[in-house]
Amino acid sequence: MITYREAVREALREALDRDDRTFLMGEDVGAYGGCFGVSRGLLEEYGPNRIRDTPLSESAFVGAGIGAALGGMLAGDLTSDGTPSECRNLRRRLDNWGRIGRDLLLCRGNHDRPRVGADWQAGPRLAGTAHHDCWGAHFLPRQRLFSYDLDGLRVIGLDTTDLDGSGGRIDAEQMSRLRALLRDEPDQPTLIFGHHPVTRESATGNLGGPGFVLNRRDASIVHQLYGRSPGVFLHHSGHTHRNRRTRPDTPIPVEFLEVASIKEYPAGYSLLRLYEGGYMVTFQTTRTAAARRWSARTRTQLFGLQSRYSLGSLADRNHVVRRDLSGIERIPRSRKASHAARRFRHRVSPSAAQR
């Protein structure tokens, strides 16, 4: 026979043992041992990385929990040339990190696009073309959108890659799907990401020039859709290998954020924390000695201008945006079932990304 306190502690211990990514956070759950001593001894057993005391701010650690549950978003260019071996090895590595669609969300970049040639013939051939889509065999087919719901936070991933070239586009079918999603629930807090930047400011300010970003026609439609969808608050992209916030082309309350590459200087990633009253972005650099050495070496690219171009300003890398995100909450069971059914309809195969 055990007490309620002991039963709760054993349940916590069981959850921590079952998945080493699980952690406990709250007010005085660590050194103090929690309310009525419920978590006493867990700090010594699992360490401070998994038993975390938090400030007296419920909205802060609720936001941290949502952010931790979201996991990683990878905005494309995860292979060099999209070959069968690269895509296969990438899928194996990502599966070791977590489950795609739960722990990791990713979209295709222009390096991952379908190609022509003997090196890609093992991948599915696109109808009416000579291109083979090796990425699509392990993730999603070309120009396929996914929508993922995390307790009220909707995350939409776009495939913005052109069939040939480094520029961006959104085909009619994918644009129609995006339009329908935003029309059906325009007020739901929504984060959207894709490989190519969207704004005119990005088109004129990146090293690749205007043809390096999403084409103007599709960018204009995206702005119109966001303008009619108050819940959209952030559009994240990669491709330009820099940290940069750019102004929207029209007066809409959406942040357009480019994040630098992790493979070269400044070699890092952005951490997004969500709160009821807004969100915070902080840029984190890699920590291992080898990564730091490579970051220092690549800093001299672009005739020594790499650091000025890629690092961005302090405000580009780290900032707070006030926004009502109180709609991010636990979804009622009946509504959650409908969302699950909708996600299931868009799966391409049991081994494909759950989008």
45-58 confidence digits (pLDDT tens): 888 878 888 766 55
Q: Return the pLDDT at 101.
A: 76
pTM of the model: 0.73
Lowest mean pLDDT among 80-84, 152-156, 339-343: 339-343
| Percentage of the chain lying above the pLDDT 90 cut | 40
Q: Quick one: average pLDDT of 220-247? A: 95
Other C-beta atoms lying within 10 Å of the C-beta of residue 259? 26
Q: Is the pLDDT of residue 350 over 50?
A: no
Torsion-angle region of residue 274: left (phi > 0), alpha (psi -120 to 50) or beta?
A: beta
Q: Is the dihedral of CA 322, 326, 327, 329 positive or negative?
A: positive
CB within 8 A of 1, min separation 6: which ones?
Answer: none
Please compute the mean of the pLDDT values over residues 290-302 and round it to a whole number.
86
Residue with the bigger pLDDT between 22 and 335: it is 22
> Could you give the CA distance from residue 176 to residue 163 in angstroms, rounded to a whole number?
19
In angstroms, the CA 109 to CA 151 distance is 27
**Confidence at residue 250, expressed as pLDDT on a 0 to 100 scale:** 95
What distance in Å separates the CA atoms of residue 39 and residue 169, rounded to the nearest whole number? 52
pLDDT of residue 94: 82
The neighbour count for residue 264, using CB atoms within 10 Å, is 16
Q: Could you tell me the pLDDT band of residue 223, with boundaries at 50, 70 and 90?
A: very high
Mean pLDDT, the chain, rounded, equals 83
At residue 108, does pLDDT exceed 70? yes
Residue 335 in this model has a pLDDT that exceeds 50: no
Q: What is the mean pLDDT of residues 12-19?
A: 85
pLDDT at 145 over 70: yes
Query: Smallest Cα–Cα separation from 101: which of 66, 56, 139?
Result: 139
Residue 345 clears pLDDT 80, i.e. is over it? no
Nearest to 75 by CA among 106, 103, 102: 106
Residue 289 pLDDT more than 90? no
